[in-house]
A and B are shown apart, each in its own frame.
Chain A
Amino acid sequence: MLVPPASYDARLINDLFGIVYVLSFIIFILVEGLIVFSVIKFRRRRADETPNQVHGNTAAEIGWTVAPALVVGVVFGFAVDTLGRMTARGSPTMPLAHVHNINDKEALRRIEEAKQVDLVIEVVGRQWVWQYKYPGGNVTANETLIVPANKTIRLDMTTADVIHAWWMPAFGPMLYVNPGEVSYVWFNVPPGEYIGQCNVFCGVAHAQMISKVRALPEDEYNRWFQEQTAGVSGRVAVGDPQRGKDIFMNQNICWSCHTIDGTKAQGNVAPRSLTRFATYDTIAEVVPNTAENLRDWLHDPQAIKPGTAMPNLNLKPQEIEDLVAYLQTLR
């Protein structure tokens, strides 16, 4: 793998890849070598030459039936072994469904291990953003997931619309998030910044459904979490258009669906351009374009216009203030 593996499972995958890569390379060289050698050695030298009419060779044919079968058997063994070790760590093969289907000891052990995680985060995938909800329900995040490093994190994932797949290449396994189901992934990674993106084609802005993970040392994570919790109940300052623009373009994913001329926001999901938003009479053609309505809209678009493509982004009150301030500068 060209992405350095960060988790235990990713390292197992990497090791298995190494083994089959070497085996495949040997077969590859053998086949290409035979082609090149034959073409050079047995090229036609005289127009009338007639080679020996060999129809086959039973021993050789049995040989190249049995040999690949053995290689396949060995590789299958390696793969099953890797799977066994991966699932012991809690890989994404839904443990609950597994127990439901085959009531074996191995599965029960996995269920127990699945419970022993340090942090469970709820994940909702929707067109075209990943949303995270931390235990307690007060702290949420979009796009960038902040977790403590070297702790086992389990993501309980659902989807609000179509099939998505949350995937960090450095963490190894991915799993589809199917409608009406909960999918799980586990990971335990060292401090660092990781990037991945939705890996099931999920509609127009699929390419913008980026997910980032920032794994912080435990004390830094705790400090961040405290700040977030405090931020929810803290006082809201007057909106700052500059901060609002930063939220729109960088911290959040508004830019991927909306268009504002002269900026990186060139999305074509939203029906109207926001370039002159402040001059519009309405918000989403349903309510008058006032600051109060805009706050309500950003807080929960679905409540104002059910079925609108704009998702509830779980924006914090301060972020809403800043965004309102920014949007009102667009003339």
Chain B
Amino acid sequence: MATISIPARTDYMKRGIAGWLATVDHKRIGIMYLASTFVFFLLSGLMALVIRLQLAAPGLQIVNQDLYNQLFTMHGTGMIFLFTIPCLVGFANYFLPLQIGARDVAFPRLNALSLWLLVFAGVVMEGGFVLGILGLLPGGASNAAWTAYVPLSNKQFSPQIGMDIWLLGVVLLGVSSTLGAVNFLVTAYTMRAQGMTIWRIPMFVWAMIVTAAMVLIATPVLTAALAMLIADRNFATQFFNTANARLWQHMFWFYSHPAVYIMILPAMGIVSEILPVFSRKPLFGLKAVVVSTILIGILGFTTWVHHMFVSGVDPIVERFFMLTTMIIAVPTGVKMFNWLFTLWGGSISLKTPLLMCLGFLSTFVIGGLTGVIQALIPLDMQLHNTYWVVAHFHYVLFGGSVFGIFAGFYYWLPKITGRLLNDTLGKINFALMWVGFNLTFFPMHLLGLMGMPRRIATYTGDRGWDLGNLIATIGAFMIAVSVLIFMANFIQSLRRGEPAGNDPWEGNTLEWTTTSPPPEHNFAVLPSVNSERPVRDLRLAAAGQPPAASREH
């Protein structure tokens, strides 16, 4: 058995702010991850609303062009680095140790460091943006898009200090993310409950293992690129001088394409947890799902050049990356069909967590298909950097990741707070979000096909883009209302929500054996595991039925 480093001091359940600031308890850290990333989600969402208002009709000047450019830069950065990635890390913080039957993560203090680096970086980046609006930061925040292509992002074309703040913030986030990845890998490797052999590891844990491995390989490359750009800007190092402008793109996308899988795999893990519970069936083809997840993790590193098909890369290299990009559709398709056949023949309970998963399945499939379409070099030459791309990646990252995250909220918040969310409000939340999402992003496919480039602060009325943009803006406000309903639902559940009990959903995994919220040490007795659905086994045993035979041979 590995040594579990539980700190000797036991003051981390202290009440009050000091208790929270000093805590190394994975659950409290998880809560702070979820809470802080949700604040960043709201901020980035507000920026999106301003963007949509500006584009609602041709020629609007709600914000000036410079501020518009800052807004979409900070919206993208915030949603990716400050919300989607760390929010899923927040779920992992809280639930990975619980799901594997551990008392904490392997390195609790490192875990606290990851959290506070995230919070610090987020406050610095968003703070810089706010100071810029107030006129206290000359030149404002970064306005070179989240891709920060050189030479646009170098000192000559982006002289403002806000650009350096942005770069430093993303460096800190990279460090936070890398430390978290080490922690999850070691925890999942060394601290699993007795009997939790490789095919009994819960799907969300599997997803986090693959994600953490990807973070470990990809993030240092981005961090290096950012450090080099900081040096270029401040110490005239010439890493990315004119002759090397494409090097930045290679290094940036070597991280930022895998980042898509870093954002989608944990959400897929959540879906793979929820579908079996709400269909009362085991996950269809568990081993195929696990192998597909690992394959996506590996293939994810072989596709980055598809972002550069029109950057001037050798044609043979382009063809290779076109094929590898398309091949990812195969393991993704396998997972999709395994999820569909988990539902097939089940006893499907249409509670909000499952509805959010159906939202994931129904929209992610569009993001997957448009991804294959765009992987084709001839089509990418036409679609690159148009609103088609904006539609595509929002179908993956909102249709996929955000619906997965909201499924996670409805499924797991009762475990964290001890109280159920209101299911009717949840259904309204889902319906508004699903309709609003499709209204916002589906027309963007058509705008892209009409030739509307992304990242333009305004457009003229003679291009035929008015109607699509107006519909998208209406949809964006529907999404905003749905998020407000979620917040109202959460607050009312804290005040007078129905007590959740240990296991409100007839769950399968170990977090449902302990109380809601779990005690400081998670489990009175460390559990042991005989199948991939240990809690179902316990339920059957309590009802006097023999536990289901393990699937292993």
Contacts and interface: CB of A to CB of B under 8 A. Distances in A.
Interface in A171-216: 172-176, 178-181, 183, 195-207
A87 B288 CA distance: 40
Interface string B376-408: 111101101110000000000000000000000
Interface string A86-113: 1100011110011001100000000000
A205 B65 contact: yes
Interface string B276-316: 00011110111110000000000000000000001110111
Interface in B319-362: 319, 322-323, 326-327, 329-330, 333-334, 336-338, 340-341, 343-350, 358, 361-362
A93 B315 contact: yes
Contacts of A27: 365, 369
Interface in B143-180: 143-145, 147, 149, 151-152, 157
A330 B342 CA distance: 73
B246 interface: yes
Nearest to B314: A101
Given A24-B369, A56-B285, A61-B334, A35 B361 contact: yes
A204 B66 contact: yes
A32 B369 CA distance: 13
Contacts of B245: 163, 178-180
Contacts of A207: 65, 456-459
Contact of B65 (A55, A69, A200, A268): A268
A236 interface: no
A74 to B, nearest CB: 11
B202 to A, nearest CB: 16
Interface stretch (B88-96, B447-455, B494-502): B447-455
Interface string B434-476: 0000000000001001110111111100010000000000000
Contacts of A2: 446, 449-451
B3 interface: no
Contact of B310 (A87, A102, A174): A174
A202 B66 CA distance: 12
Q: Which of A3, A55, A161: most chain B CB closer than 10 A?
A: A55
A42 B457 contact: no
A35 B362 contact: yes
B438 to A, nearest CB: 12
B151 A176 contact: no
B285 A61 contact: yes
Contacts of B548: 53
Given A20-B376, A27-B369, A76-B322, A200 B385 contact: yes
Nearest to A68: B333
A75 interface: yes
Contacts of B281: 51-54
Given A1-B382, A24-B373, A200-B385, A55 B449 contact: no
Interface stretch (A8-16, A227-235, A276-284): A8-16
A206 B381 contact: no
A98 B319 CA distance: 13
B242 A52 contact: no
Contacts of B221: none
B525 interface: no
B157 A162 contact: yes
Contacts of A200: 149, 385
B366 interface: yes
B61 interface: yes
B9 interface: no
Interface residues of B, number: 87
Contacts of B366: 28
A254 interface: no
Interface string B12-37: 00000000000000000000000000
A52 B65 CA distance: 59
Q: Which of B243, B338, B379: most chain A CB closer than 10 A?
A: B379
Contacts of A202: 152
Given A31-B361, A199-B453, A50 B280 contact: yes
A45 B349 CA distance: 9
A27 B450 CA distance: 24
A86 B65 contact: no
Nearest to A56: B285
Nearest to B386: A199
A16 B329 contact: no
A163 B322 contact: no
A24 B370 CA distance: 8
A80 B316 CA distance: 11
24 contacts: A3-B451, A13-B382, A17-B379, A21-B373, A24-B370, A27-B369, A31-B362, A34-B340, A42-B279, A42-B345, A49-B280, A51-B345, A56-B288, A61-B285, A72-B330, A75-B372, A78-B376, A161-B151, A172-B381, A173-B382, A175-B310, A197-B456, A199-B385, A207-B456
Interface of A: 1-3, 10, 12-13, 16-17, 20-21, 24, 27-28, 31-32, 34-35, 38-39, 42-45, 49-57, 60-61, 64-65, 68-69, 72, 75-76, 78-80, 82-83, 86-87, 91-94, 97-98, 101-102, 127, 161-163, 165, 167, 169-170, 172-176, 178-181, 183, 195-207, 266, 268
Closest 4 CB pairs between A and B? A169-B451, A207-B456, A173-B381, A56-B285
Interface of B: 61, 64-66, 69, 143-145, 147, 149, 151-152, 157, 242-243, 245-246, 279-282, 284-288, 310-312, 314-316, 318-319, 322-323, 326-327, 329-330, 333-334, 336-338, 340-341, 343-350, 358, 361-362, 365-366, 369-370, 372-373, 376-379, 381-382, 384-386, 446, 449-451, 453-459, 463, 548, 551
